[in-house]
Structure formats: structure tokens, C-alpha cells
Structure 1
Amino acid sequence: MAAIISCHYCTFPATTKVFRPINPFRFPSASSHAYFRRFGTRCSTNKQHPFDLQNKQKGRSFSFKECAVSIALAVGLVTGVPGLDWWSNAYAAEPVFSDLSVLISGPPIKDPGALLRYALPINNKAIREVQKPLEDITDSLKVAGVKALDSVERNVRQSSRALKQGKTLIVSGLAESKKEHGVELLNKLETGMDELQQIVEDRNRDAVAPKQKELLQYVGGVEEDMVDGFPYEVPEEYQSMPLLKGRATVDMKVKVKDNPNLDECVFRIVLDGYNAPVTAGNFVDLVKRRFYDGMEIQRADGFVVQTGDPEGPAEGFIDPSTEKTRTIPLEIMVDGEKAPVYGATLEELGIYKAQTRLPFNAFGTMAMARDEFEDNSASSQVFWLLKESELTPSNANILDGRYAVFGYVTENEDFLADLKVGDVIESIEVVSGLDNLVNPSYKIAG
């Protein structure tokens, strides 16, 4: 199975056992040996270690330089101290920060819906100023009792004022072909804002969150109506691959075994082709091929849930038209950039502190697994992160910028933690957005 993280190789005495840590992201506080025991997926006793990434033999010798780079990078990522300046100075690239950083500054955003809204390729400050106070209601509701409603009331007033003052600019930002729909949503948003204000005045705390969710759906719809076509050209070498030029939603139905409290569950997943068209397109194409139907969950260790490794010697999807494994490039959108970077991690590009547009912040973040040492080796294996951003904060972990995020579980994500190895994916169905898939290989005979 493809790895989502692994150690660079270290040599232990002959009596050292193979370590399989529960949490490979627990960083060292004592020695480098502790680092590799806690950080890697496997360390063996040989000087040239077989690297078990996809249950296959892949040899690579230990390099002291690689270990030093890994340790320095990990320290820099955790502490914020640039421990790799001597390395990154070889690159001219500088971290890129979005114009929206002021609007969304603060604690890491964990809500998948909010992450998807902020990830849309739009540049309309007026609608973001409406959105931000509505998103902040979530934090306001963390205060106990009805006292929370005082903060909620300020949020609502701020958002309502921003909507009234910025409506003209918001309407002007709508794509011409979607303007009628966008205006309709804005009218619903205005009405809903008044209704939320009344809920607050009635001190009905329980009704706040459902109404907030409804209003944010309107906001997200308006923002999507601002996207006019696909915003950039995919590099020529990838243009013939299945590409998701927009977003799609899928429902993944899982049959759960040996759990008296859960028999089956349907996970709704939003796939973001705006920021990962090749990665999301590959997945949707495999879904339409029924590649995942009947496949078991293959890893469920409390850190991630992973699947996608087919039976037999193949490490990924074998395209019947070529009889070869179809692989896709590593694809990462940097916040503030107009198109993704391909074929290299952000640390390899010298911009490991840059923010990614789709961060590993949310419980249920979906990404591609790949060979640790081959950036462009992803094929069919996917994983969902089970840790929230307090443990793996955006831009301070070894996932962001190294693995391609292409979606989030937006419904029933909490049940991912209940999945076990051997649970079966009964089906994955595309429920919307299939028309955004171009070059669909599943339509080719065979």
C-alpha cells in the first residue's frame, strides 16, 4: 500500500525490532533514534532497507544527509524556526500569502465547508466580508449558555451591514451566465439574515447553528456563481488526462463490520477540481469505472483511513487501454497562486512555509497516497485524515505541501473514526458535478 509518510533510513543494532508507531507524527524530544521510532512507518536492521511502501520491495540506502534534512525540516515545521535556511536559500522562491489572509487570520479553519468556500478561485472582498462574520458564529457558539448570543448578534449585524453596503459589488462580481441565480441567492441571504437576527432576539440558541449553515450555503452558492469558467490552463503534458474542471460531489457508502452501533454509513465528499483538477479528475474517473466498489478499507489506525490498493501485484489502477499503471503528478495549489505546482513538494521548491489552498485542517481531509520518494507515483490509493488541526496545524506539519489534497468529507465525517480494516466500500456514486469531468477514460471501451 502506498505510504502517506515514512522515515528516511536509519541503522539500529541487530537486536532492534521493527517499529510500527500508532501516531507517526509524534515528534522527537530526545534522540534521533526516538525520532525515527516515532516518525517513521518502518525502520529495519539492514543497512540497506527494503522500503515497504506498497507491499513491494523498493530498496534505498540510508543517507546521513537525508536524515539531517528530515530532522531539520521537522524541527522547523514544529517550532517555526527556519532550520533549513542553508538549504532553502538555494531557491529563489518566497512564500506566497493571499490577499484574504487578513480576512481569515486567526485559529486554523477546521470546518470543511468553510475551507471549500475560501478555496474558491474568486477575488471579491465584498462577499468575503459578508462570509467572515457568519463563519465566526461557530466560535461565538463555543461560549456557554445564552451569553453566546451576544457575540452572535454582533456577528449577524456585521454580516448584514456588509451585505447592504457591498451588494452592488457582489452582484458585479457574478459571472454573467450565472447572475440571475446569484441574485436569487443574495435575496434569500438577505431574508435569512433578518430571520437569524430574530432568532437571536428571541434568545433561541438552538436555532442559531442550523440557520447559520443555511446562510453559509447561500454564501457559498453566490461565490460559486462568481467563477466564470475554469480559471487556468492545466500543463500540456496532463491535458489529456481525466480532469475535473470545477467541483463534484460523491456519496461513499461503507458497510461496517463488527460494530453493533453502526451497520453502514454514507459519507458525502466534495471534490475540488479548481485546486486539484488532475487529482480529482483521476478519482472521479475511477469512481465511474466502479474501481472502488467492493474494495475493503485497508488501513484504519486512528490517524488515517486508507484504501485503493487493488488485489494482485498492481500498485494502482491498470488502465486497460494501455495495460500500464496510470499514475498522476503531485499537484498542490499554493495560496495566492493562480495555478497548482506539479511534480514537486513545496519543501523541494524551497517554499515549505507557504500556505496550501486545501490544507490538512479538517477531520476527513481527503488526499492521494503515493511513494514517499517518488512525487509523481500516485494512482488510486486515497486516504482521509482523522486528526484535527490542533495536532496537525496548517503549514506546521509534514502533510501540507507533500501530499495532494483534493476534497473534504462534508457529511458524517465523524464516523470515519469508526471504520476498521475489512469494512467494505459498497459503492461510490457521483451525485453532482459529473459534467465538470473532461477526458473521461471510463467511456472508452474496455
Structure 2
Amino acid sequence: MYDRLGYWLASFALVTLLLVGGCTSPDAASQASDTSVQPTQARNSQMSNLPQLEGKATVVLTVKGSPITIEVDGTQAPITAGNFVDLVNKGVYDGLVFHRVVRQPQPFVVQGGDPQSKDPNFRGQLGTGGYIDPSTGRERRIPLEITPEGADSPIYSQTFKTAGIAQQSPALPHRRGAVAMARSQAPDSASSQFYITLADLDFLNGDYAVFGYVTDGMSVVDTIEQGDRIDSAKVTEGLENLKIN
């Protein structure tokens, strides 16, 4: 019993590390919260304006001169995958820092993707930023998008618990090498920050959106330290599957 309690407490503490810090501002937090309670028709219209990946794509991150190959899965997570591939293609991730690396008390994640980290002179708190869309001047947010195993389409804006299917498995589980979006406590608050899992992390299933897996280069991921930068991020296959309205 005590071992289980200790595991639960450690898991809870680790999950809080995935949260994007404070949504950056009260206004941004309000924006994210409002998205999750909009009428379905309005939310669907908003989602239709986001990039989507119809199929799969391959992205190669280069860190410390070594490649990390990611298969991005738009069949199970079209909006989440489309957002990532679009940002990679725009060069958003080039030069960004892995601002959070957690290996103790157990292997957990490496996390990056805060655009503020591109500036080596930035003195604020990393982990609070997201991608600012130059066409709107606002941070692009995407809905929480998780497909249950065997389902034809994703569930949006809800965790499996709030959707009443807490015991169900996702089509894309948090196994070692999963690539997923970090977010705040608001379901629809993910933007550009992502993490790569260092172990099987089943307790995250149904709460965070996995959109792909490292297929080559986990040995490189295992060497990433806090402060290491992404030298470059390139879409090497499947860019034709990215649809932008």
C-alpha cells in the first residue's frame, strides 16, 4: 500500500511538471478555458482553421549534431500532428532549448518548444511561452485531441476521465519515445511546447495528447540535458499531407 501511495505521489508530482506555466497570463488562461466550453459548431469552425495532417509525416530533430527521427501520426491526431508539422516547417523549433529534463526519481520526459528560449539573453521563466501567429498576433492554441483505441475519431477538449472513459486506452499511448503536447490545466491550451517520454508512462494516458513516436535516435534523447538546443527541425517526408486552410 505504501509503495503504491509513493508511486501515486511521485506520478502526481511529475505530471505537474508537464504543465505550461500559468498559461502566460490571465487573459490567455481565459482564452483557453473559453475554447473548451464553446458550442460544438463554433469549436468545430475554429478547429477547421488549424493546420491538419492527413496521414503521416517524418520529422528529424538534430540535437548536439545527432538526429532524432519522429514519425508524426495524423491518422490518430490530425490537428495535434498538423500543428507540430506546420511549426517545424515554419522553422519555429530551430534553436529552441529543452528547458525541462526530468530523470529523477524516475525517468520521465525531456520538454522543449518554448519560443522564448530562442533568445539566449531571455531572463524570464521558460516554459510559459507558445507560438504567436503573426497573422493574428495571438498565441495559437490547439484543442486536446485523443483518440480512444478502436475509435473512428478523436475526443476533443476532454480528458478520458471527464469524458467518462477513464479505463479506456488511447490509440497512441505514452510508451517510451512518445512525443506529446504539454499544456496548462485548461484542456485546450497546448501551443508549441512538446515532450518526449523517457519511459512507459501509462498514468499520462488519456490526459495528454500523443501525436507520434521517436523511431530512431532515442539514444540521443537519453543524453539531452536541460539547456541543450534543437540545432534544427526538418520535415523529411509527408509534408504533402499537411493541409492548411
Task: Specify if TM > 0.5.
Answer: yes
Letter aligned with residue 100 of structure 2: R
Letter aligned with residue 133 of structure 2: D
2:97, 2:114 within 8 Å by CA — same for their partners in 1? no
Q: Name which of 236, 242, 245 aligns with 1:437.
A: 242
* Rounded Cα–Cα distance in structure 2 between residues aligned with 1:376 and 1:279: 11
Aligned-residue CA RMSD in angstroms?
A: 2.6
TM-score of the aligned structures, taking structure 2 as reference length:
0.79
| 1:137-152 → structure 2 map (5 Å cutoff) | none
| TM-aligned CA deviation for residue 281 of structure 1 | 0.5
Q: Which residue of 2 aligns with 1:304?
A: 109
Q: Name which of 93, 97, 111 aligns with 1:292.
A: 93
| TM-aligned CA deviation for residue 378 of structure 1 | 0.2
1:365 aligns with 2:170: no
CA deviation profile, 1:264-309 (whole Å, cap 9, x unmatched): 3101100000000100100111111111101111111221010011
| TM-aligned CA deviation for residue 335 of structure 1 | 1.2
| TM-aligned CA deviation for residue 236 of structure 1 | 4.0
| TM-aligned CA deviation for residue 238 of structure 1 | 1.1
* Rounded Cα–Cα distance in structure 2 between residues aligned with 1:366 and 1:236: 27
1:333, 1:340 within 8 Å by CA — same for their partners in 2? yes
* Rounded Cα–Cα distance in structure 2 between residues aligned with 1:340 and 1:55: 26
Q: Which residue of 2 aligns with 1:408?
A: 213
| TM-aligned CA deviation for residue 415 of structure 1 | 2.3
* Rounded Cα–Cα distance in structure 2 between residues aligned with 1:343 and 1:404: 11
* Rounded Cα–Cα distance in structure 2 between residues aligned with 1:241 and 1:42: 27
TM-score of the aligned structures, taking structure 1 as reference length:
0.44
Q: Name which of 121, 124, 148 aligns with 1:334.
A: 148
Q: Which residue of 2 aligns with 1:28?
A: 5
Q: Name which of 361, 375, 378 aligns with 2:190.
A: 378
1:354 aligns with 2:172: no
State the structure with bigger RCO (CA 8 A, min sep 6), 1 or 2: 2
| C-alpha spacing 1:57/1:271, structure 2 compared with 1 (3 Å) | closer
Aligned residue-pair number:
212
CA deviation profile, 1:374-396 (whole Å, cap 9, x unmatched): 000000000000013xxx3xxxx
Q: Which has the higher helix share?
A: 1
| C-alpha spacing 1:42/1:304, structure 2 compared with 1 (3 Å) | closer
* Rounded Cα–Cα distance in structure 1 between residues aligned with 2:192 and 2:96: 12
1:271 aligns with 2:72: yes
* Rounded Cα–Cα distance in structure 2 between residues aligned with 1:56 and 1:359: 25
2:60, 2:67 within 8 Å by CA — same for their partners in 1? yes
CA deviation profile, 1:99-129 (whole Å, cap 9, x unmatched): xxxxxxxxxxxxxxxxxxxxxxxxxxxxxxx
| TM-aligned CA deviation for residue 398 of structure 1 | 2.5
2:61, 2:234 within 8 Å by CA — same for their partners in 1? yes
1:251, 1:428 within 8 Å by CA — same for their partners in 2? yes
1:244 aligns with 2:40: no
| TM-aligned CA deviation for residue 237 of structure 1 | 3.4
| TM-aligned CA deviation for residue 310 of structure 1 | 2.0
- Unaligned stretches of 5+ in structure 2? 27-42, 117-121
* Rounded Cα–Cα distance in structure 1 between residues aligned with 2:148 and 2:56: 18
